Chain A
Amino acid sequence: MTTHPAPDTGPATYLRRRTGLIVPLLLLVTGIVLGAGTLTMEVPDNVASPGPQLFPTMVAVACVVFAVLLGIDILRRPEPEQVAAPTDVDPATDTGTAARTTEATDVTASSASTNAPEAAAGDTADAGATRVRSNRRAVAGLVGTIVAFIVLLVPLGWLLSGALLFWGVARALGSRRPVFDIFLSIAISSLVQLAFSAGLGLNLPPGVLAGVL
């Protein structure tokens, strides 16, 4: 199966076109965890014949099998080929956008980021071919904000941590008005507090503002 020419120049590029290997890796780990969990499962003695272990065993085996198959598929067909294929039947809308766009407009952001050389190298390596360009800094900022929100929710309370969440996500997604965003995010989290805590009776943690609210 040597249908695809290999423009790969080195091991780094080779791997960068195959970051999708993370999915089979995840499947493999899931399969192993399920398998180990099934073996160590504490089953009551009086269980009817197809017990609680049969189904997990099947799923664990399926995980490993599909991890191997998917891994082989990704190794054989690296990314640019994938995205360049016709995407009009693809249910995922993001590949559609990705296929149409290659250029980075956000030059300042990407040059400031640590992985800019990599990204630039990637773009020149397959010029024209349309591999999805991932903005790792934005993803890191977004995930970091959510982690901070989860940690701070109970000690700080909804009002402040919710505002932080909105502010941080807007910033990670490219908002350029940090001061305006502070007011907007506090307004939004207060509105949520009013509508859902006072209005619909949902239980939101008050946190440090417990006495004030």
Chain B
Amino acid sequence: MSSLGNLGDGFLTILTPMNMLWVLVGALLGTAVGVLPGLGSAMAVALLLPVTFSLDPVGAFIMFAGVLFGGLFGDSTAGILMNTPGNSTAIAGSIEGHRMATSGRAAQALATAAIGAFIGGILSSALVVFFAPSLAELATLFGPAEYLALSVFAFVAISAVVSESVLRGLAALVIGLAIALVGVDGMSGTARFTGGMPELFDGISIVVITVGLLALGEVIAVAARRGTKEDLRVMPSTGRLWLSRGEIRLAIPAWLRGTAIGVPFGIIPVGGSEVPTFLAYGTERRLGSRRADSMFGKGAIQGVAGPEAAGNATAGTAMGALLALGLPTSATAAVMLAAFRQYGLQPGPLLFERASELVWALLASFFVAMAVLLVLNLPFAPLWAKLLKVPRHYLYSGITVFAMLGVYATSSKILDLVLVLAIGLLGFAMRRYGLPVAPVLIAVILGPLAETEFRRAMAVSEGDPSVLVSSPITIVLYLVLALGVTGLLVQRARNRRRTIASGATAS
């Protein structure tokens, strides 16, 4: 078991005072952005990208790990105490969580969420430690055609699943592909859509795109909502902090079921934790309805435990897929991939050989971050909720200042500031009109890769397109994709027919 030995080395790397400080900073920041509505760990990592450029990669990445999981720990706090989930990943867990809070069991709900996030994260990280190296080995067999198939899979899956309308998801994807086209084409040296400006020869920086879409877009959206009444009452966190034996007996199977549901979703590019959290919630609800004493509707502890564990389990395996395959399966993973590229590292099979110290330190930091986050969140969740009392206008002004600072600091180009504003306005328009942002990020990251692999495959086969579907791996990927999309479309059409039918009877 060389994995364990490598992991031990990883622990030795990060258990220095300085690196522990980075984990702590990351965990604090991540929890903070998780608690605050509309902000997520993807945005936090995007904002941190420019300012961590002077850190050593190990320090930066273990901080990102803290942010990544911190966001998932924090997002349930606001959902449970205020019924305004900090992130879309916390919506499922907040349904029963808020009911528990209204019935005077807020502390138990918060504890269940924190422990659930811990269990889901730890178990999936352990799986990543044992299986990521073999996954990376499998990925060394991949050629251009396989990578193209993976990219196409990611494109279609994320566009179809993340948004409620496939059309809007695909439109967002196309916007991202168009943004990614700007710059000098790496294979032929042709300048594309640069308007003759040498500043654009390197393309639009991923920092500009992520900060614009995720940070500035959200700030503008907040400005547009100004004056709309918002409910900001925080429920008092009453009740016992520790779970009773009966509660634990109910929660443990739910935590484990949630983890089992969440783990596979990290490898499928469906945009992160929304889908698995809702699946876990649905499962718990169905199982709960079989019991005579079901608490669902009145604040069932399983309804919090399942989704929270699922959310963090997905985040853990998503990092595994990113490290081993170089495939981002969510917006956060896409931003992490951008971070790797900033340090000149390309996630994928070769990363385990070339930057093995960094990889294992990062994996070890998952466990440390999870433990730190449990300590930060289990007793102090009500304190974190106080963060929502910070006046909204100062908070978002600070984010704007930080966003502009980061963008300018990486490049010292005024053009980048203009671009970040333009992309921020785009991000606002997309939020306002219901287009998902995740497909844009995935397209920007994977678009150039897909193009290069496509042209490489065609060049090798001398223009014969059948090479794209000649290997068993590509055939399986395209088949699964076709089946999945067909199934989804059929299910959506059926749902629509049902809602139209019920609407007709109601009116």
Contact flag A55-B451 (CB < 8 Å), given A91-B163, A95-B434 = yes
Name the contact of B167 in the complex, choosing from A3, A70, A104 (C-beta under 8 A). Answer: A70
Q: Are A97 and B225 in contact (CB under 8 A)?
A: yes
Q: Does B181 contact A (CB under 8 A)?
A: yes
- Residues of A near B229 (CB, < 8 A) are 101, 103-105
Q: Does B295 contact A (CB under 8 A)?
A: no
- Residues of A near B458 (CB, < 8 A) are 49-50
Q: Are A162 and B192 in contact (CB under 8 A)?
A: no
Q: Are A174 and B226 in contact (CB under 8 A)?
A: yes
Q: Are B392 and A147 in contact (CB under 8 A)?
A: no
Q: Does A51 contact B (CB under 8 A)?
A: yes
**Given the complex of chains A and B, what is the CA–CA distance between A100 and B192 in angstroms?**
45
Q: Are A150 and B418 in contact (CB under 8 A)?
A: yes
Mask of B462-489 contacts with A, CB within 8 angstroms, 1/0? 1100000000000000000000000000
Closest Cβ neighbor of B92 among chain A residues:
A88
Name the contact of A91 in the complex, choosing from B162, B193, B219, B226 (C-beta under 8 A). Answer: B162
- Residues of B near A170 (CB, < 8 A) are 393-394, 397
Mask of A62-93 contacts with B, CB within 8 angstroms, 1/0? 11001101100110000000100100111111
Q: Are B435 and A55 in contact (CB under 8 A)?
A: no
Q: Are B228 and A104 in contact (CB under 8 A)?
A: yes
Q: Are A22 and B429 in contact (CB under 8 A)?
A: yes
Q: Does B335 contact A (CB under 8 A)?
A: no
Mask of A155-188 contacts with B, CB within 8 angstroms, 1/0? 0001000100111011111110000000011001
**Given the complex of chains A and B, what is the CA–CA distance between A49 and B463 in angstroms?**
7
Choose among B163, B220, B394 the residue with the greatest number of A CB atoms under 10 Å from its CB.
Answer: B394
Q: Does B56 contact A (CB under 8 A)?
A: no
Closest Cβ neighbor of B185 among chain A residues:
A52
Q: Are A143 and B227 in contact (CB under 8 A)?
A: no
Q: Are B190 and A42 in contact (CB under 8 A)?
A: yes
B206 to chain A, nearest CB (A): 18
Mask of B367-410 contacts with A, CB within 8 angstroms, 1/0? 00000000000000000000000011110111011101100110
- Residues of A near B181 (CB, < 8 A) are 34, 55-56, 59
Q: Are A139 and B220 in contact (CB under 8 A)?
A: yes
Closest Cβ neighbor of A95 among chain B residues:
B434
- Residues of B near A129 (CB, < 8 A) are none
Contact flag A134-B224 (CB < 8 Å), given A59-B181, A70-B168, A142-B219 = yes
Name the contact of A88 in the complex, choosing from B91, B424, B429 (C-beta under 8 A). Answer: B91
Give chain A interface residues in 107-156, CB to chain B under 8 Å: 109-110, 132-136, 138-139, 141-143, 146-147, 149-150, 153-154
Closest Cβ neighbor of A140 among chain B residues:
B223
**Given the complex of chains A and B, what is the CA–CA distance between A135 and B229 in angstroms?**
12
- Residues of A near B170 (CB, < 8 A) are 66
Contact flag A188-B85 (CB < 8 Å), given A73-B167, A109-B227 = no
A111 to chain B, nearest CB (A): 11
Q: Are B174 and A59 in contact (CB under 8 A)?
A: yes
- Residues of B near A91 (CB, < 8 A) are 88, 162-163, 271, 274, 436, 438
- Residues of B near A56 (CB, < 8 A) are 181, 192-193
Mask of B56-84 contacts with A, CB within 8 angstroms, 1/0? 00000000000000000000000000001
Q: Does B491 contact A (CB under 8 A)?
A: no
**Given the complex of chains A and B, what is the CA–CA distance between A74 and B433 in angstroms?**
10
Q: Does B293 contact A (CB under 8 A)?
A: no
Q: Are A202 and B51 in contact (CB under 8 A)?
A: yes
Name the contact of A34 in the complex, choosing from B193, B228, B451 (C-beta under 8 A). Answer: B193
Q: Are B51 and A200 in contact (CB under 8 A)?
A: yes
Q: Does A48 contact B (CB under 8 A)?
A: yes
Q: Does A211 contact B (CB under 8 A)?
A: no
Closest Cβ neighbor of A58 among chain B residues:
B177
B78 to chain A, nearest CB (A): 10
**Given the complex of chains A and B, what is the CA–CA distance between A24 and B434 in angstroms?**
13
**Given the complex of chains A and B, what is the CA–CA distance between A73 and B112 in angstroms?**
42
Q: Are A66 and B188 in contact (CB under 8 A)?
A: no
- Residues of B near A63 (CB, < 8 A) are 174, 178
Name the contact of A59 in the complex, choosing from B177, B226, B231, B408 (C-beta under 8 A). Answer: B177
Q: Does B455 contact A (CB under 8 A)?
A: yes
**Given the complex of chains A and B, what is the CA–CA distance between A59 and B182 in angstroms?**
12
Contact flag A55-B398 (CB < 8 Å), given A103-B229, A172-B223, A200-B51 = no
Q: Are A50 and B459 in contact (CB under 8 A)?
A: yes
Contact flag A52-B224 (CB < 8 Å), given A59-B174, A146-B421 = no
User: Apart from A23-B430, A91-B274, A147-B421, what are 15 other A-B pairs with CB-CB below 8 Å?
Assistant: A3-B500, A19-B433, A27-B175, A44-B188, A89-B164, A104-B229, A110-B227, A135-B225, A162-B404, A173-B393, A173-B397, A174-B393, A175-B394, A196-B405, A203-B412
**A and B contact pairs by CB, cutoff 8 A, 18 listed:** A20-B432, A23-B430, A42-B190, A48-B188, A49-B462, A55-B454, A56-B193, A89-B164, A91-B274, A101-B230, A133-B225, A136-B224, A146-B400, A146-B424, A166-B397, A169-B397, A169-B401, A202-B50
